Amino acid sequence: MKKTFLILMSSVAVLLVWTLFLTFERANGTPLVVEIEGFDPRSLIAGRYIAFQIKYKTDLTCGDKRTYSVEPSYFCWKTKKITRGKPSDCPVFFKGECRWGRFSDNLSRYYVPEIDADALDKDFQKRDLKFELLLSVTKRGDAYAKELLIDGKSWRERYWSKTADSGS
């Protein structure tokens, strides 16, 4: 009985340490604001989210477009260059893949509460608003979306008064 309890507790401890490590890594990543474009799809399984693409403003070609191959690649934000190996002279880079000759990052969704999703969907279709994403980029190149920004302000600030008014 004690042996089973120790095995169970060691498994829980390993998961806890791993979670704390990932949380610490995400919290201490390099902050980076990137411009995005996209739309607000609906998914019965995943809920409401904004599907987006980062506006890299450069050519994302990284291999042969005629053959399907998936190779680990890195995009240096400062130089706008794609490399096969980790760039040693680049302070902020994204880890991704080269698929069909084009760089693909692992950033594509930002989840939003159901109550604000319709308003966000309408705003996302407007061309006069600037949408950005505040990222936390780790030293390994993993990027995590921290905050959606609309015209430089948090989307929560934009919808807080609308949400507070509808709740009363």
Structure letter (DSSP) for residue 7: H
Q: Which pLDDT value is given to residue 168?
A: 44
* Residues 6+ positions from 84 with CB-CB distance below 8 Å: 71, 72, 73, 74, 98
Q: Which pLDDT value is given to residue 163?
A: 47
pLDDT digits (tens, 9 = 90+) for 95-145: 999 888 888 887 877 877 777 777 777 787 777 888 899 999 998 889 888
Q: Which pLDDT value is given to residue 46?
A: 57
pLDDT digits (tens, 9 = 90+) for 2-40: 888 888 899 999 999 999 988 888 888 888 898 888 765
* Residues 6+ positions from 158 with CB-CB distance below 8 Å: 123, 150
